Amino acid sequence: MSTEWEASAAAWIAIQGESGDFGRVHVLDAPMLALVDERAPARVLDVGCGEGRFCRMLASRGIATTGIDPAVTLIQQAQALHSGGDYRVADAETMAIAPGGHDMAVCYLSLIDMPDLDAALARIVAAIRPGGDLLIANLTSFNTAATHLGWLKPLIGEASFPIDHYLEERPRRTAWQGVDIINHHRPLKRYMQALLGHGLTLTHFDEPPATGGPADKRDRYNRVPNFHIMMWRKPD
């Protein structure tokens, strides 16, 4: 279990509030839901579901969801907010999910939290039925390669977003607003090669812009977008 996420659960729940944070609400939700609607899955596995926000959004569309997360407190919150939902405490790398039982698996900003990417993807892909989909929202790899969290504002000159050691895969401690966790930096090729190695076909890729929220925050985000979205199809 992720002890960092368990220790940070209360802070995370407070940050998300009733609606979610800036990146989810103003960048990712709309394109993620559009891809779900396009495929119209009946059963979705949300791996790294946190406090269950995206599961609840899918359930409001009549989709049966199973949410997986290693943090007990987050799963308890998910269950409290969605009493009819199916939520389970488990690591992605070791979760016991029946093979081929889901039309779609979702990793909504959770792949970066998984220490063993290959073990996690093996379980996730196995849970998807032939012809089903894997929908991923992830931090961009230049974001996780940043030399510190966010923009650097020097005494003189323009603010910048410096990165370093991009090709070096490594864990990184990330802290903000009471959350103190370990993310994993991986170059984009690491994800792409791992997914291609499972025989999946890339059917969608996007780096969506922010389309709402405070103008200054939106404009700053769109200078250096934090996220990308991918959809992969499992062969029939």
- pLDDT digit string (tens) for 145-202? 998 877 888 888 888 889 999 999 999 999 999 999 999 999 999 999 999 999 999 9
- For residue 75, tell me if it sits in a domain: yes
* Inter-residue contact 204 to 37 (CB < 8 Å): no
pLDDT confidence of residue 7: 94
Mean pLDDT for the chain overall: 95
By mean pLDDT, which of 73-77, 121-125, 147-151, 167-171 is the weakest? 147-151
- For residue 160, tell me if it sits in a domain: no
Rounded to an integer, what distance in angstroms lies between the CA atom of residue 90 and that of residue 69?
5
Residue 2 has pLDDT above 80, yes or no: no
- For residue 166, tell me if it sits in a domain: no
- For residue 220, tell me if it sits in a domain: yes
Length of the chain: 236
Q: Which amino acid is at 127?
A: A
Domain residue limits at 51: 3-142+187-233
Rounded to an integer, what distance in angstroms lies between the CA atom of residue 138 and that of residue 192?
12
List b or e across 138-166, with b for residues whose CB sees 16 or more CB atoms inside 10 angstroms: bbebbbbbbeeeeeeeeeeeeeeeeeeee
What phi and psi, each to the nearest 5 degrees, are found at residue 176?
-165, 140
The secondary structure element, H or E, covering residue 7 is helix 3-16
Tell me the CATH number at 38.
3.40.50.150
Rounded to an integer, what distance in angstroms lies between the CA atom of residue 179 and that of residue 167?
26
If you average pLDDT over residues 194-215, what whole number do you get?
97
pLDDT confidence of residue 1: 52
Residue 114 has pLDDT above 80, yes or no: yes
pLDDT confidence of residue 51: 97
Read off the pLDDT band of 123 (50, 70, 90): very high
If you average pLDDT over residues 69-84, what whole number do you get?
96
In the Cβ-directed half-sphere of 231, how many Cα atoms lie within 13 Å? 17
- For residue 206, tell me if it sits in a domain: yes
- For residue 103, tell me if it sits in a domain: yes
Residue with tokens 């012809």: 131
- For residue 175, tell me if it sits in a domain: no
- For residue 155, tell me if it sits in a domain: no
If you average pLDDT over residues 38-65, what whole number do you get?
98
For the chain, the domain total comes to 1
